[in-house]
Structure 1
């Protein structure tokens, strides 16, 4: 639950524009991956200072901890659906994956017999009838 609390603190600091608090939660060599339209890299713009914290509001609708990862989902009407996957190591965010307008399925591939299983799946309530690309994240 500690990882979950760190990511919740990140979103709270982002919403309030506390850039110093955000910086303390991120590794200096944060690894980044983005999937979606290039103009939708909102988190990158906010974290790098290219955009203000008020340019795009990240309001998490669900936060789920899966091992060292914390998966955060949010949507703002029919035009903006996002999933963030934060990986933490020793209380610091070291890796970030951002999916914008993309269905995401997270599967655990650790050997448990020969099976792997889905541990998380996108649930954008107001976008079920919309066609979005789908991607599988293996952890």
Structure 2
């Protein structure tokens, strides 16, 4: 919050990886000192970012809840939600962080 309000100096966002899964783009990185990790999850529609989620100092696992076949979403068994991406940087900071699951 202090960075957003201008009370403290901003930190540089250094992306370490960028991956996409359909309309979802995941970018992961850290600050210069590697003390803050971040993950951005963008939803893109027709080349425009329509939604942004930001996670700081959090481990994120992305799972696929359904398959898309010929442009249509098909349901799959709830017990089968494969992990398609897991954050890598959060564990490098040497501290325990909360974990979240993002279902796409």
Same fold (TM over 0.5): yes
Structure 2: give runs of 5+ residues left out of the alignment. Answer: 67-73
Q: Secondary structure at the match of 2:92?
A: helix
Task: Name the Cα RMSD after superposition.
Answer: 2.1
Matching residue of 1:64 = 19
Q: Secondary structure at the match of 1:123?
A: coil
2:59 to 87, 103, 121: 103
**Number of residues of Structure 1 aligned to a counterpart in Structure 2:** 91
2:82 to 96, 114, 117: 117
Cα distance in 1 for partners of 2:55, 2:75 equals 28
Between Structure 1 and Structure 2, the one with more helix by share is: 1
Structure 1: give runs of 5+ residues left out of the alignment. Answer: 1-38
Cα distance in 1 for partners of 2:37, 2:76 equals 35
The two structures have a TM-score, normalised by structure 2, of: 0.76
- 4+ runs deviating over 6 angstroms: none
The two structures have a TM-score, normalised by structure 1, of: 0.58
Cα distance in 2 for partners of 1:67, 1:105 equals 16
What are the equivalent positions in structure 2 for 1:20-31 lying under 5 Å apart? Answer: none
Cα distance in 1 for partners of 2:96, 2:87 equals 13
Rg bigger for which structure? 2
